[in-house]
């Protein structure tokens, strides 16, 4: 019977040969016999004796391939940044997908590891729709100096930064999104000096990483994520190497495998030769690395500051900064962008039902123009709808509904319009609640759209608001859909669900119609927008409708709907972004 093949890659030079042999020995000892294994050894030139040492590990089901990456290295027109214990071999993993166009998936493992678990379990992880699967980098999570560095310099959350020592690579996605080419392009722009290739990969793969259980890359300097016997891979990171320190964490596990290999005596000698001055130097290098992270985080010329000065639109940079300030001050219901000066909307200025034939004609014209605009945005990839998850929840609605959605872009209502179109509800109309100033004072083309695309404007006039409330409730009871942004404010590309106001849920409770919670998840595409920020890919999550609990008093009915909606959004946020919701 032909067994499935698992493709595994190591990268090393002559210096690290003995450590690779120990790691591979542990992998072979614990691997399932239900698979065959191709172990690819990436190198920049190996002696024949070294290859013979590796071949001694051979067992049925395991085949070794020695692959010289020198030609790939020569294609780089930029010197690769190196520091301390890093060697050029750390960059070899970047070439795997392009070197092997025949592979859809590949597993990369660092040399300073012990594979205690069955590697087939990790390899069989589904990485569809991700560039790779990896574990959180605990140095960033548990050491503030490193966490601040990656957020301020690299532009990736400390809670979503991965360690590159174990990578399950989706080679098809890697090639499709030109990860290697983008790395080479970044090399021309900026030299990351703290975690180097890890910085580059985290920047390029941001939003496209599947985070897996920490037991598959347990960094031994940090907290143990599970019982010792359940660790899949021990990773002896930074300077605490068991071949230098016999008493480093979990060195006993390392030596339980090393002593069974042909390189055991070499490793023992290395420990004997490791002098006190080497130990002092290791401590100093770690302190220097922390200091370098602090320096880069505060460097006015670091990567994020470089982008803000040279590449990004100044108005967008200012808005991102303002969002941070508003979040810290918990000013969640305030817009960060200035609205047009607002003129008061009086009752005689608005017919919410658009019964006038001229108003109906204007609406038809406006929708024709809007659909043309949306098609243009989609074709030019300025609006990217990657998926609509739960569209059946919309299709199955047999009543009107209040649609809620997070608000982060002037065009996000277009995404919900496309959801409405996909739900195929031609006999029921889709309306949007908008601000007063957007209706009365917005100029030009977009002002025409604001006034004529089935919008329901709010008003600062009490009588007009009574008319608004009465009209909105009637539209809902007639079976139509009304989009309301319950966060109240719009924060550009802000991904977290903000605390909700009760207005949307008042409509649902008074009309006795359900709330249809929608939450749009954003991910960086690989298309750089004119403003210097990546165009966002939208995945619209449409949850099951929430029905008012008619057994509760009115106020509690409203509060329950609001709480249920927020919790649904929170669950989607935490699941999709793989991080807790923290402001």
- The Cα-based distances of 82 to 13, 145, 154, 191, 312 in angstroms read 15, 20, 17, 10, 29
What is the rounded average pLDDT of the residues 1-21? Answer: 94
Q: For 445-503, how does the pLDDT look when each residue is reduced to its tens digit (9 = 90+)?
A: 888 988 888 999 999 999 999 999 999 999 999 999 999 999 999 999 999 999 999 99
CATH architecture for segment(s) 5-140+163-190+207-275: Alpha-Beta Complex (3.90)
What CATH class has 347-577? alpha beta
- Give per-residue burial for 304-315: e unless 16+ CB within 10 Å, then b: bebbbeeebeee
**Domain range summary for the chain, segments of one domain joined by +:** 5-140+163-190+207-275, 347-577
- The Cα-based distances of 545 to 402, 461, 477 in angstroms read 9, 32, 16
Q: Residue 83: which pLDDT band, with cuts at 50, 70 and 90?
A: very low
Contacts of residue 192, defined as CB under 8 A and 6 or more positions apart, other chains included, come to 81, 153, 154, 199, 200, 303
HEC readout, 469-500:
HHHHHHHHHCCCEEEECCCCCCCCCCCCCCCC
Between CA 559 and CA 551 the distance in angstroms is 13
**pLDDT of 86 strictly over 70:** no
**pLDDT of 173 strictly over 90:** yes
CA nearest 579: which of 132, 207, 205? 207
Q: For 320-334, how does the pLDDT look when each residue is reduced to its tens digit (9 = 90+)?
A: 999 999 999 999 999
**pLDDT of 562 strictly over 70:** yes
pLDDT value for 71: 75
pLDDT value for 324: 95
pLDDT value for 513: 97
pLDDT value for 360: 86
Question: What 3-state class would DSSP assign to 345?
Answer: coil
């Amino acid at each position: 019977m032909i067994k499935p093949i698992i493709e595994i890659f190591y990268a090393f030079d002559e210096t690290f040969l003995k450590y690779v042999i120990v790691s591979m020995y542990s992998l072979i000892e614990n691997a399932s016999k239900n698979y065959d294994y191709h172990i690819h050894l990436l190198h920049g030139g190996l002696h024949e004796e070294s290859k013979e040492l590796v071949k001694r590990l051979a067992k049925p089901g395991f085949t070794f391939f020695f692959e010289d990456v020198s030609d790939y290295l020569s294609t780089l027109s930029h010197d690769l940044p190196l520091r301390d214990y890093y060697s050029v071999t750390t960059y070899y993993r970047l070439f795997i997908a392009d070197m092997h166009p025949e592979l859809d998936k590949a597993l990369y493992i660092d040399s300073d590891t012990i594979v205690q678990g069955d590697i087939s379990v990790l390899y069989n992880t589904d990485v569809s729709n991700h560039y790779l699967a990896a574990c959180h980098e605990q140095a960033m999570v548990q050491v503030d100096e490193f966490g601040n560095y990656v957020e301020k310099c690299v532009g990736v959350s400390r809670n979503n930064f991965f360690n590159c020592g174990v990578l399950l690579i989706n080679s098809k996605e890697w090639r499709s999104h030109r990860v290697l080419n983008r790395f080479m392009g970044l090399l021309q722009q900026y030299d990351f000096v703290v975690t180097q290739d890890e910085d580059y990969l985290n920047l390029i793969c941001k939003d496209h990483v599947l985070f897996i259980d920490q037991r598959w890359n347990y960094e031994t300097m940090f907290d143990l994520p599970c019982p010792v016997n359940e660790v899949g891979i021990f990773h002896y990171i930074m300077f605490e190497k068991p071949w230098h320190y016999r008493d480093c964490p979990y060195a006993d596990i390392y030596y339980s495998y090393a002593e069974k290999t042909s390189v055991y005596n070499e490793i023992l000698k290395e420990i004997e030769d490791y002098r006190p001055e080497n130990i002092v130097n290791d401590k100093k290098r770690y302190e220097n690395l922390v200091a370098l992270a602090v320096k880069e985080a505060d460097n006015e010329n670091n990567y994020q500051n470089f982008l803000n000065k040279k590449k990004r639109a100044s108005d967008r940079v200012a808005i991102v900064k303002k969002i941070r300030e508003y979040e810290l001050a918990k000013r969640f219901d305030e817009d960060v962008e200035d609205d047009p000066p607002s003129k008061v909307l009086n009752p005689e200025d608005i017919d919410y039902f658009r019964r006038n034939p001229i108003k109906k004609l204007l609406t038809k014209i406006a929708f024709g123009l809007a659909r043309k605009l949306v098609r243009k945005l989609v074709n030019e990839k300025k609006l990217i709808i990657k998926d609509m998850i739960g569209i059946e929840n919309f299709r199955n609605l047999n009543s009107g509904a209040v649609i809620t959605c997070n608000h982060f872009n002037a065009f996000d209502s277009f995404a919900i319009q496309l959801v409405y179109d996909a739900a195929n509800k031609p006999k029921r109309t889709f309306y949007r609640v908008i601000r007063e100033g957007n209706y009365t004072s917005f100029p030009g083309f977009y002002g025409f759209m604001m006034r004529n695309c089935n919008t329901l404007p709010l008003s600062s006039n009490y009588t007009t608001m009574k008319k608004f409330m009465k009209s909105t409730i009637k539209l809902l009871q007639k079976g139509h859909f009304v989009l309301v942004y319950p966060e109240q404010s719009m924060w550009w590309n802000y991904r977290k669900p903000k605390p909700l106001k009760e207005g949307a849920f008042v409509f649902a409770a008074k009309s006795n119609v359900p709330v249809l919670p929608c939450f749009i998840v954003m991910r960086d595409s690989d298309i750089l927008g004119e403003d210097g920020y990546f165009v966002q890919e939208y995945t619209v999550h449409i949850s099951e409708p929430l029905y008012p609990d008619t057994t509760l008093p009115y106020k509690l009915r409203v509060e329950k709907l609001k709480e249920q909606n927020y919790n649904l959004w929170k669950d989607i946020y935490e699941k999709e972004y793989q991080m807790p919701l923290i402001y």
